[in-house]
């Protein structure tokens, strides 16, 4: 235990892993000084417990609340698991926040809502109308409600535990969780709780805290740029506008119906003009143009336009309330269109937004945020913020793009032993646009099948995109792998987290038998958010480099970054995000220093210096160019000596 002397009381294990003590000390110093930290530490380092051990002493001493943010439920659950272990050594309370839909017992809300905003409106109206028995029971069973809060504050709890107890007592699990959050030392939540401006303000109000009361931890922070852009962006389709017209007729809102009919016709005229080339999927537009037709015909100035849009929002609220009273789905298309168009109008003139018209769902308007740092403006007011991930290199670029000031940058060395890592790069294939063909995909399939035969047990194959994955399947990848005796699991777009988790569980189970192959994409939930231990993934085959298609939104972000960071626009907006996704996928094979793993990259561009510089040391040091024959030789040596 001597190695632990002098470390925080909140590190619950007997032994520290390499460099954990330095990590804990750095985090502790940063939060005490009111600074921020950007930290890269490898997979298997123990970042979660280390950051908690670093921030909790000062947080508990000074009364700060730790807000630990992650991307997936699986990552959030892992924090609660660590807090449970910590609490056996030193008292600490923790609560994991989930959405209203996941923590609601009211059948109406769970049946009729699909997004956070609608769920919030429905919840508010059900309470207002006295139609939520679980909320009403909070007053009738106040003693039991308060007792349950104190019970859960004694030890960190998973949402399922809170849900179960609340259901037994017929109390609202969501309100229970919110009340726990007011008093808990650590709140574990999704990024959206701070990245989305509306959700952030509601959340801060619900826990009765000021930003200066918070120490914030962003886990898997390499996801932040994309998540921030998503949180700040919005879209509506022409179908929503048409449904709003029908809704206005149904509720006899004739002025709104007339406005929307003219507005919709104006959009169709604009659509025919801007997207007449069927090959073009989306195009930037001057934002004022979407209102030109309706303001011209109705002789509306800006004040008149704002008045009718505000009326639409107010009418939308009334319609939702009316539908709740009648037991109907609580949506309002009028309200939705009004809210979107008010936001569109308010952002005109902003250089950090792109105004798009696209073919998505027939015709859509999209507000695309270009600057992820705008979602983190509140950071300058918190006591301290820790951004950590296994793939943030180069740290300076992450700091710039996310606009993080007063930040300490630290990169911890790899844990993977040189003899346990193997990186092989095919020098005769690539997914570069002009090189893609059935012949190239067939050659890639040859590589994949040979590698899957030689790597024991489970293997992951992550493609640069679903288009590339489809190219591999069209070259008979699935048939060839089945002939090689491997079970096949294919990641599908649009499936629920529960369905995907069930598939991954079946894939992992094959590690105890003959092994299986998981097909997915880089940047997807199975190449980033999942952990694979032991034989659950002994090798990954990365097909291509996941560069985004040069769409108008990608080009706009490159131009925006070029204005903000001269000479670095294309690197920050195009190259670096793809390189990080590739490194994340590569990291699936090593959960500890002792685990062996093969990484095979089917794209010769990885050998280029401009790309290699963004890779972690352990990948660069063990990288070797190969053809199929040499790949077989290296794999035979690696796995023959290691098993």
Indicate the average pLDDT of the chain.
Answer: 91
Q: Which residue's entry shows tokens 């590739």?
A: 582
Task: Specify the pLDDT at position 593.
Answer: 63
Task: Specify the pLDDT at position 5.
Answer: 46
Task: Specify the pLDDT at position 6.
Answer: 45
Task: Specify the pLDDT at position 314.
Answer: 96
Pick 12 or 528 by higher pLDDT.
Answer: 12
Sequence-separated (6 or more) residues with CB below 8 Å from residue 414 = 42, 616, 617, 618
Sequence-separated (6 or more) residues with CB below 8 Å from residue 28 = 8, 54, 55, 57, 58
User: Does the bond joining 394 to the residue before it have cis omega, within 30 degrees of 0?
Assistant: yes
Average pLDDT over residues 320-336: 87
Q: What CATH number did the domain enclosing 326 receive? A: 1.10.275.40
Task: Specify the pLDDT at position 138.
Answer: 85
Residues of the chain with pLDDT > 90, as a percent, come to 67
Residue 128 resides in a domain: no
- Maximum CA pair distance of the chain? 80
Residues 332 and 209 both lie in one domain: no
Residues 591 and 627 both lie in one domain: yes
Phi, psi of 618 (to 5 degrees): -65, -25
Residues 78-128: tens digit of each pLDDT: 999 999 999 999 999 999 998 887 888 888 887 777 777 778 778 888 888
Task: Specify the pLDDT at position 93.
Answer: 95
Residue 151 resides in a domain: yes
Q: Contact, 455 vs 598, CB < 8 A?
A: yes
Residues 338 and 428 both lie in one domain: no
Radius of gyration of the chain measured on its C-alpha atoms: 26
Q: Contact, 159 vs 103, CB < 8 A?
A: yes
Average pLDDT over residues 132-159: 90
User: Is the pLDDT confidence value at 643 over 50?
Assistant: no
Q: Which residue's entry shows tokens 């849009």?
A: 309
Residues 407 and 464 both lie in one domain: no
Average pLDDT over residues 484-506: 89
Q: Contact, 460 vs 532, CB < 8 A?
A: yes
Task: Tell me the sheet residues that pair with 600.
Answer: 424, 541
- Cα separations in angstroms, 138 against 130, 148, 352, 567: 12, 11, 45, 58
- Measured in whole angstroms, the distance separating CA 52 from the mean position of its chain's CA atoms is 21
User: Is the pLDDT confidence value at 533 over 90?
Assistant: no
Residues 156 and 73 both lie in one domain: yes
Residues 395 and 339 both lie in one domain: no
Average pLDDT over residues 288-314: 95
| pLDDT tier for residue 324 given thresholds of 50, 70 and 90 | confident
Instruction: Tell me how far apart the alpha carbons of residues 624 and 631 are, in angstroms, rounded to a whole number.
Output: 9
Residue 495 resides in a domain: yes
3-state secondary structure of 416: coil
| pLDDT tier for residue 343 given thresholds of 50, 70 and 90 | very high
Residues 511 and 585 both lie in one domain: yes
Q: Contact, 447 vs 517, CB < 8 A?
A: no
Task: Specify the pLDDT at position 131.
Answer: 85
Lowest mean pLDDT among 34-38, 408-412, 461-465, 590-594: 590-594
Task: Specify the pLDDT at position 2.
Answer: 44
Instruction: Tell me how far apart the alpha carbons of residues 305 and 606 are, in angstroms, rounded to a whole number.
Output: 53
User: Is the pLDDT confidence value at 52 over 90?
Assistant: yes
Residue 156 resides in a domain: yes
Residues 309 and 204 both lie in one domain: no
- CA 494-497-503 angle, to 5 degrees, is 90
Residue 127 resides in a domain: no
Residues 526 and 619 both lie in one domain: yes
Where among 411, 426, 441 does a domain terminate? 411
Residues 434 and 541 both lie in one domain: yes
Residues 614-623: tens digit of each pLDDT: 988 888 888 9
Residue 107 resides in a domain: no
Q: What CATH number did the domain enclosing 630 receive? A: 3.40.50.300
Q: What is the pTM of this model?
A: 0.88
3-state secondary structure of 508: helix
Number of domains in the chain: 3
Beta strands in 51-170 (DSSP E): 65-70, 94-96
Q: Contact, 94 vs 184, CB < 8 A?
A: yes
Residues 450 and 552 both lie in one domain: yes
Closest by Cα among 413, 405, 638 to 538 = 638
Task: Specify the pLDDT at position 7.
Answer: 55
Closest by Cα among 110, 361, 114, 112 to 240 = 361
Residue 356 resides in a domain: yes
Task: Specify the pLDDT at position 448.
Answer: 97
Residues 356 and 403 both lie in one domain: no
User: Is the pLDDT confidence value at 4 over 60?
Assistant: no
Residue 114 resides in a domain: no
| pLDDT tier for residue 28 given thresholds of 50, 70 and 90 | very high
Closest by Cα among 341, 252, 334 to 294 = 341
Average pLDDT over residues 413-419: 73
Instruction: Tell me how far apart the alpha carbons of residues 553 and 285 are, in angstroms, rounded to a whole number.
Output: 12
Task: Specify the pLDDT at position 331.
Answer: 85
For residue 207, the enclosing domain spans 2-98+137-225+373-411
């Amino acid at each position: 235990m001597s190695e632990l002397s002098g470390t925080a009381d909140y590190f619950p294990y007997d032994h520290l892993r390499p460099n954990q003590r330095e990590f804990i000390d750095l985090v502790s110093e940063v939060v005490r000084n009111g600074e921020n930290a950007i930290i890269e530490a490898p997979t298997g380092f123990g970042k979660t417990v280390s950051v908690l051990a670093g921030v909790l002493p000062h947080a508990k001493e000074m009364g700060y609340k730790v807000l630990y943010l992650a991307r997936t439920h699986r990552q959030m659950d892992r924090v609660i698991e660590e807090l449970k272990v910590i609490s056996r050594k030193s008292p600490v309370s923790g609560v994991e926040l989930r959405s209203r839909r996941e923590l609601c017992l009211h059948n109406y809300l769970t049946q009729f809502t699909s997004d956070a905003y609608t769920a919030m409106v429905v919840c508010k109206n059900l309470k207002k109308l006295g139609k939520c028995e679980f909320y009403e029971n909070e007053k009738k069973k106040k003693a039991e409600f308060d007792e349950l809060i104190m019970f859960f504050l004694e030890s960190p709890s998973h949402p399922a535990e809170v849900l179960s107890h609340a259901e037994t007592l017929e109390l609202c699990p969501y309100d229970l969780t919110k009340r726990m959050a007011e008093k808990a030392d650590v709140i574990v939540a999704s990024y959206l709780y701070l990245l989305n401006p509306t959700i952030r303000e509601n959340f801060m109000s619900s826990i009765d805290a000021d930003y200066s009361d918070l120490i914030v931890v962003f886990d898997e922070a390499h996801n932040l740029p994309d998540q921030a852009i998503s949180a700040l962006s919005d879209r509506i389709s022409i179908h929503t506008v048409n449904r709003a017209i029908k809704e206005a007729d149904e509720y006899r809102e004739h002025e709104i119906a007339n406005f929307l009919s003219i507005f919709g016709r104006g959009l169709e005229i604009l659509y025919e003009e801007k997207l007449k080339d069927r090959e073009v999927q989306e195009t930037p537009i001057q934002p004022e143009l979407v209102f030109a037709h309706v303001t011209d015909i109705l002789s509306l100035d800006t004040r008149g336009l704002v008045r009718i849009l505000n009326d639409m929002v107010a009418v939308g609220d009334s319609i939702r309330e009316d539908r709740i009273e009648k037991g109907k789905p609580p949506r309002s298309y009028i309200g939705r269109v009004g809210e979107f168009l008010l936001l569109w109008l308010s952002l005109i003139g902003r250089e950090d937004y792109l105004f798009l018209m696209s073919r998505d769902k027939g015709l859509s308007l999209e507000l695309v945020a270009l600057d992820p740092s705008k979602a983190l403006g509140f950071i300058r007011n918190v006591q301290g913020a820790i951004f950590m991930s296994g793939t943030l290199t180069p740290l300076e670029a992450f700091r710039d793009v996310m606009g993080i000031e007063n930040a300490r940058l630290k990169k911890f060395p790899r844990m993977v032993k040189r003899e346990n890592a193997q990186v092989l790069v095919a020098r005769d294939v690539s997914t570069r646009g002009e090189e893609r063909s059935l012949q190239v995909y067939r050659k890639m399939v040859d590589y994949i099948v040979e590698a899957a035969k030689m790597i024991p047990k489970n293997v992951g194959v992550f493609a640069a995109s679903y288009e590339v994955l489809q190219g591999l399947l069209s070259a008979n990848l699935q048939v060839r792998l089945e002939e090689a005796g491997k079970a096949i699991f294919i990641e599908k777009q649009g499936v629920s987290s529960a369905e995907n988790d069930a598939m991954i569980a079946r894939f992992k189970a094959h590690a105890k038998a003959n092994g299986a192959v998981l097909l997915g994409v880089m940047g997807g939930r199975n190449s980033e958010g999942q952990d694979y231990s032991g034989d659950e993934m002994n090798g990954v085959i990365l097909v291509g480099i996941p560069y985004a298609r040069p769409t108008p939104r990608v080009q706009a972000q490159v131009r925006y970054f070029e204005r903000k960071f001269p000479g670095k626009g294309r690197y920050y907006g195009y190259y670096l995000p793809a390189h990080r996704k590739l490194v994340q996928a590569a990291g699936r094979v090593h959960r500890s220093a002792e685990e062996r793993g093969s990484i095979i990259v089917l794209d010769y561009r990885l050998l280029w210096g401009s790309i290699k510089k963004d890779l972690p040391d352990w990948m660069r040091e063990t990288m070797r160019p190969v053809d199929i024959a040499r790949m077989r030789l290296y794999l035979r040596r690696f796995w023959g000596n290691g098993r």
